[in-house]
């Protein structure tokens, strides 16, 4: 692939992210508080949200970076502890399967993302079509851990679910570390999410399977597809 073709591919993916972010505005409920995710797709959403900022009460951010970007647009950011209800949480993902189970945390914000998503009435995930996979696990699964437990948790992960564990050169907004687990085939995401969260020292992991997305807006080069969580 030539450099020109490569650059064109990147631009197209960014255009898809922008299109899906714009589409997500239709899921914003007026006069309510919106939960906002983290990452490049969420950043496009923040930029789009700025155009209707006077129609919402404000937002809750899933990371310091998101809070800063929201504030830079003059969008009000609430502390989650000052808020009782979030109408919708809008965020990207690293992978999704057809049941809208997700891997998140590529940007390291998984714990706050899971918290804000838990409070929200509805989770609308926004992604380009490259994120939809048959079986999750090609993208390394992020696990946030308390720093002193890092070695113990790494051993336990290999014992319990296998894979290769790598420490990311990164500190989360919560002052913790991230372990990225590669070489997984996640055929039972609910069970894996629960198993990983039962290891002492794990804060949370990037599987959103016990509470998956409610809606996945998936950008293709031609349109934005809407996938609803199936009734299983
Ligand atoms: C950050 C996340 C992001 O939603 C995920 O990494 C997708 O990012 P992007 O929109 O940049 O592809 O979970 O922790």
Q: Answer whether residue 8 shows pLDDT above 70.
A: no
pLDDT tens digits, 45-102: 999 999 999 999 999 999 999 999 999 999 999 999 999 999 999 999 999 999 999 9
39: left (phi over 0), alpha (psi -120 to 50) or beta: left
Known catalytic membership, residue 193: no
Cβ of 41 closer than 6 Å to ligand 1, yes or no, is: yes
CA pair distance 122, 32, nearest whole angstrom: 13
Q: How far is the CA of 21 from the centre of ligand 1 (A)?
A: 13
List pLDDT tens digits, range 158-194: 999 999 999 999 999 999 999 999 999 999 999 999 9
Q: Is 39 in the pocket of ligand 1 (CB under 6 A)?
A: yes
Q: Report residue 230: phi and psi, to 5°.
A: -70, 150
- Is the model's pLDDT at 7 over the cut of 70? no
Q: What is the DSSP letter of 147?
A: G
Residue of minimum CA distance from atom 7 in ligand 1: 93
Q: What is the mean pLDDT of the chain?
A: 96
Write down the pLDDT at residue 12.
Answer: 85
What pTM did the predictor assign? 0.95
């Amino acid at each position: 692939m030539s450099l020109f073709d490569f650059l064109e591919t990147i631009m197209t993916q960014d255009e898809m992210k922008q299109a899906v972010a714009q589409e997500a505005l239709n899921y914003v409920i007026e006069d309510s508080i919106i939960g906002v995710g983290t990452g490049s797709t969420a950043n496009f959403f923040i930029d789009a949200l700025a155009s209707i900022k006077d129609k919402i009460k404000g937002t809750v951010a899933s990371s310091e970076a998101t809070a800063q970007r929201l504030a830079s647009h003059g969008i009000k950011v609430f502390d989650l502890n000052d808020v009782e209800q979030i109408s919708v949480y809008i965020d990207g993902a690293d992978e999704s399967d057809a049941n809208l189970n997700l891997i998140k945390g590529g940007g390291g914000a998984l714990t706050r993302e899971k918290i804000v998503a838990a409070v929200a009435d509805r989770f609308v995930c926004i992604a380009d079509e490259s994120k939809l996979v048959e079986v999750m696990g090609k993208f390394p699964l992020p696990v946030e851990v308390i720093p002193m437990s890092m070695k113990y948790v790494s051993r336990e992960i290999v014992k319990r679910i296998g894979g290769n564990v790598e420490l990311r050169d990164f500190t989360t907004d919560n002052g913790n570390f991230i372990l990225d687990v590669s070489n997984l085939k996640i055929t039972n995401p609910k069970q894996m999410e629960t198993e990983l969260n039962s290891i002492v020292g794990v804060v949370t992991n990037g599987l959103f399977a016990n509470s998956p997305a409610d809606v996945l807006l998936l950008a293709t080069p031609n349109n934005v597809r809407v996938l609803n969580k199936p009734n299983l």
